[in-house]
Amino acid sequence: MSWLAPAKINRFLHITGQREDGYHELQTVFQFLDFADELNFNILSTKEIIHNNPLPGVPAEDDLIIKAARLLQQYANCHLGMEVSINKKLPMGGGLGGGSSDAATTLVALNQLWNLNIELPDLAKLGLQLGADVPIFIYGVAAWAEGIGEDISSILLDEPYFVVLIPAVSVSTVDIFSSPVLQRNCTPINMSQFMSGEGTNVCEAIVCELYPEVEQALQWLGQYSKATMTGTGACVFASFSTEAEAQQVLQQRPEQFDGFVAKGLNISPLYS
């Protein structure tokens, strides 16, 4: 059985402050896409944790799938292990949440496969130790998020088709959030203001300055529909009312950009 670890997009991203511990206070809206990594698990009778095809250059101690499995194993005092294989579709450093989604799917899958019966809120608290975005993927509903991303409220969004362009760069979230010119004092908005069209991605300007490829992708895609960067980049997206229209735009993209068409979803494919 394959377990899906879907992509997400940030429909907007504001930073409203920075805490003493260095974490940023933010406001954002997460929506899922029907485009996902696929994870396959084999349960072991020993406590061994095996990743059959880890990402090149990512050591085991930084592998979020392995970290998630070990964290759950320790939390539940579980004496079972697992072997995992992944069909990796989401790019690294793309702002689509691939690592966080993989970690969340690992927690959700092993919670069931190891018969642990941990409640979803407790699983989300565990996931927060792995990354601020992990709880979003565990709850699996489109969400308005505040705090460092852990203060979550469900939100009902339109579900258009998105063209997502993938510039050939990997953006470091740490580098963007540590930039001295990052805007950290956005005036908070509310859901109704967002629904009325307010909200931008305040990371866009910095990423475009550091990575011209992202700016080029935004400019090209913006010819057809309002284009926005997701997260700290590098991927950019624009919405279209029909799949045919989105596919037509994607097929015209410049050859330096990879990309795909995906439907926006209010319920994560992990659960649907």
Residues classed as catalytic: 8, 133
Q: Count other C-beta atoms under 10 Å from residue 37's C-beta.
A: 22
> Is the separation of the CB atoms in 264 and 239 below 8 Å?
yes
CA distances from 111 to 51, 126, 182, 255 (A): 18, 12, 38, 42
In terms of DSSP H, where are the helices of the chain? 64-76, 98-113, 120-128, 134-139, 173-177, 191-195, 204-210, 212-221, 243-251
Q: Could you tell me how far CA 83 lies from the centroid of its own chain?
A: 23
